[in-house]
Structure 1
């Protein structure tokens, strides 16, 4: 495919959603199929995020589903379509976590045996939640694609039905029910910003949304480390590598069906960095008091990264999941505090004699900084034998306050610097 112009929308081969593998009628049928078994989650406007982003931001809280993920919708719609013989044989799925939980939970409810293959490195919270729902959990493969190949072979050997996480019309239709609920709650929406991994969610939502409001703009978001669909649609060859906070959308090979739909109906695809994803996760916790995993926060990350794209618009975001390890949450929050200048490590060159630590502590207290940690380093430094390296982690109000603290230390005769900036 020739390279698309900068910021050009995806190519279009069809103008009617009905010509695609999934129709709006399929999504309406899916909504009826899953009704009563999947939560109709809240879709609310965030006044604070709207002020920060310069547009009207509406949040769809799919992280508050029972399994903390939207994946329940497609999984249940697919499971309900199984024949009695297929239910008896059982199902198998490959997943980085959320599809696994959706399949495991609803298969258990429906009395269907389920095996789930999850790649090495899947967050432990997702593995444990899947096991808790009674599924036979298998950890295999370094990537989702390797896990998928193992699942295919294992399924064929044991006569199991494959429940694909995204490249299945029934899965796509189930995910599309989110857009129906969003437009019912917020009919003025003119833009939806939706995460893309394999493409099942954005495909279903685009079909549903554009069948109701053809002029509505659909923007997809991928992690910069895994721009698989971006590459396919734009004819790029950006590399895919590394560990992303948004592991739920770290897909190297997008779906065949989903690519066709995205090419036809999605208006743009943007990429977000890891720093931007971390900031969005932290902001959702701080402002909305809601826990969202990296993949679920990329929509907000995209708006924060380029607010001019969305200025004045009515934007709907899907908080797709909340399955994130608590240790990782702590790391994200403290890293964001450091970026904001609210949590900082300072190195100070002091003379090794009584009273120096007290003097530094008094000065920091007078400056309004809170001391979090203190450590002395006498041996492993390049200071003279009578010198000591004092490392202090402090809490300040913001970066301006931090700069004031550093200025006061200098005026008092202390040689102080931020590690890595000396």
Structure 2
């Protein structure tokens, strides 16, 4: 009887997510805010709390994060990552400092302490690769000159997360300096080993995973990804980072096929992940945090726009392209929730979860709206100032890989 109720709940949750996804597709915005709201509605303190399917959602949420980062890793090769780190590290550092500062300052001003400051700085820093990729595709900006700049910043953020998450995990665990440095050293060694394997022996990984049978390929790719993610987590590296690096090890036609096969699973479990975060956020805790979340969101729009503008200007992109680059970086989503989820799970501060949820809700909605409004507002401004209403042809760059949302 218990299993019957669990199946009913799971079926209702997945069906509800499908309906919410249909609504978001109809109005052309990210479904992430709707998934978070669904979690709030059916979680602790919500309208109708789930009773029997919590274990499924918890496991599904972990798999969702792993698949999100694995499919993102499939978009890049190890040489591309190394090249990005070598040529765009200055813009990446500007992005890191400028966008983590509001979160760090807010946590310190609220008296939450240095560990919470590190966590909230991560929440305000990282852009949602999934939402940004969807914005670029939906608005047909993929061929523009600013896209490589946006991608380079996203890759730098992913690499930064690979080092940041182990540090945050150690801080949340309350380990001492020596233990913390040991954890970081193990994490760095693990990441280095996986990158070396991806760079020098990626063809062997591809041969191991490859199969003419799509079912076999799906099982191999999924099994290897979850296995490496689990081992990485055991070695104090985030499971998500381990999955990301496995994705990097696969390239070419194999990566394309693996992405096609795993995208439906990724979308399903990613939706479960966002719902799971909402389930563990008390809706009653959101209103007190909403004002701070809105202020942080305004700061986030300004700092990300400034980052993209400056980075695109260094690349010789025109004014409209600089604005597109900045606006493209505004959305927050998956990684921000992952960071807040780590802090909430560790019992760091019960206000970080609601603040992060409200912050992501605001920017996951605002980012795509601002991007969609940019060029119409630019045309309106040109007409108002008496300049020709027709826009110049878009600045087109050579074809570049874009993360699949």
TM-score range, shorter chain: under 0.3
Q: Pick the structure with more helix per residue.
A: 2
Q: Pick the structure with more strand per residue.
A: 1
Task: Find the structure with the greater CA-based Rg.
Answer: 1
* TM-score of the aligned structures, taking structure 1 as reference length: 0.25
Higher relative contact order (CA 8 A, sep 6+): 2
